[in-house]
Amino acid sequence: MIYIKTAQQIEKIRKSGQIASQALDMVSQHLQPGVTTQHLNQLIHEFIISKKAKPATLGYIGSSGSVPFPASCCISINEVICHGIPGERQLKDGDLVTIDVTTILDGYYGDTCRTFLVGNASKTAKKLTAVTEESLRRAIAEVKDGVRLGDIGYAIQSYVEAEGFSVVRYYVGHGVGLKFHEEPSVCHFGKKGRGIRIKSGMVFTIEPMINEGVYELKILEDGWTAVTADKKLSAQFEHTMAVTHSGADILTLS
């Protein structure tokens, strides 16, 4: 079932999403060699709580019935595509770090993600990060009432593959707002004119995960951490947005 949100509900999702985005603004100032991912997680946890919100990932149980996620955000480094679990790992110069934050405020969810570069990153890491962010921008530019989901996926896939990278297929964007994960699923690959037509009032994420090499992945024994099959780099950017007649209203802007 796809929930069409009211204007009031969209504003509540926006307030939640702003906190998630502000958490990323805050933690970006602490990304330097030697800092542990657990420390970054603690900073994000404390920030979210200070805003009277809750971290949605803490204790979250995935659809596969995996063990509850043990942290207040996902921190994925280099070859980790998504769902990296914060711990004692220290950031190193040149690392590519993806941080995904989802907040709950007054029962409404906001979900956003960015990739950061620590210190002197490689040319490949810089290009991958820039292409991933641009692919999200191009996808958002497609969003408006009446557009098909395949048009959004095509905008990402056609651009990314032309730049020599690949689009992860296993994970997709999703409806969000009243629940962490709702319908529809928003693929980051596809063909023009395919898929359901989106309508004003729909709220969903677009969150392309783009790999340096092949798009295939492996999930580690912890049941959460997804890594590239060839151990090459991966990057991700994500926004939550509401569909309007004229375009996308991005709800995760700080």
The answer to whether the pTM exceeds 0.95 is: yes
Q: Are strands 80-82 and 166-167 parallel, antiparallel or unpaired?
A: unpaired
For residue 46, being part of any structural domain is answered with: yes
Give the span between the Cα atoms of 219 and 227, in whole angstroms: 6
Mean pLDDT for the stretch of residues 173-184: 97
Mean pLDDT for the stretch of residues 139-147: 97
For residue 29, being part of any structural domain is answered with: yes
Mean pLDDT for the stretch of residues 186-207: 98
Q: What is the DSSP letter of 69?
A: P
Q: Tell me what percent of the residues of the chain surpass a pLDDT of 70.
A: 98
Lowest mean pLDDT among 62-66, 145-149, 176-180: 62-66
Question: Cα dist. 140→29, 87, 206, 207 in Å?
Answer: 27, 33, 8, 10
In the chain, what's the furthest Cα-to-Cα distance? 48
Are 81 and 71 in contact by the 8 Å Cβ rule? The answer is: no
For residue 1, being part of any structural domain is answered with: no
Q: Is residue 196 exposed (0-12), middle (13-18) or buried (19+ Cβ within 10 Å)?
A: middle
- To which H or E segment does residue 23 belong? helix 7-28
Q: What is the pLDDT of residue 65?
A: 55
Tally of domains in the chain:
1
Please provide residue 213's backbone torsions phi and psi, each rounded to the nearest 5 degrees.
-110, -125
Task: Using alpha carbons, select from 190, 187, 195 the residue that is nearest to residue 147.
Answer: 195
Q: Which residue segment(s) compose the domain that 16 sits in?
A: 7-250
Give the span between the Cα atoms of 46 and 49, in whole angstroms: 5
Question: Any idea what the Cα angle at residue 71 is, between residues 242 and 170, rounded to 5°?
Answer: 55
Q: What is the pLDDT of residue 254?
A: 87
Are 93 and 36 in contact by the 8 Å Cβ rule? The answer is: no
CATH of the domain at 134: 3.90.230.10
Q: Is omega for the bond preceding 86 within 30 degrees of 0, making it cis?
A: no
Q: What is the DSSP letter of 54?
A: E
- Judge whether residue 169 has pLDDT over 90: yes
β-strand partners of 148? 197
What's the one-letter identity of residue 198? I
For residue 172, being part of any structural domain is answered with: yes
For residue 2, being part of any structural domain is answered with: no
- Judge whether residue 228 has pLDDT over 80: yes
Q: What is the pLDDT of residue 62?
A: 79
Are 100 and 17 in contact by the 8 Å Cβ rule? The answer is: no
For residue 31, being part of any structural domain is answered with: yes
In this structure, the number of other CB atoms found within 10 A of the CB of residue 235 comes to 30
Q: Tell me what percent of the residues of the chain surpass a pLDDT of 90.
A: 97
Q: What is the pLDDT of residue 173?
A: 98
E strands of 147-221, at which residues? 166-167, 173-175, 182-186, 203-206, 209-211, 217-219
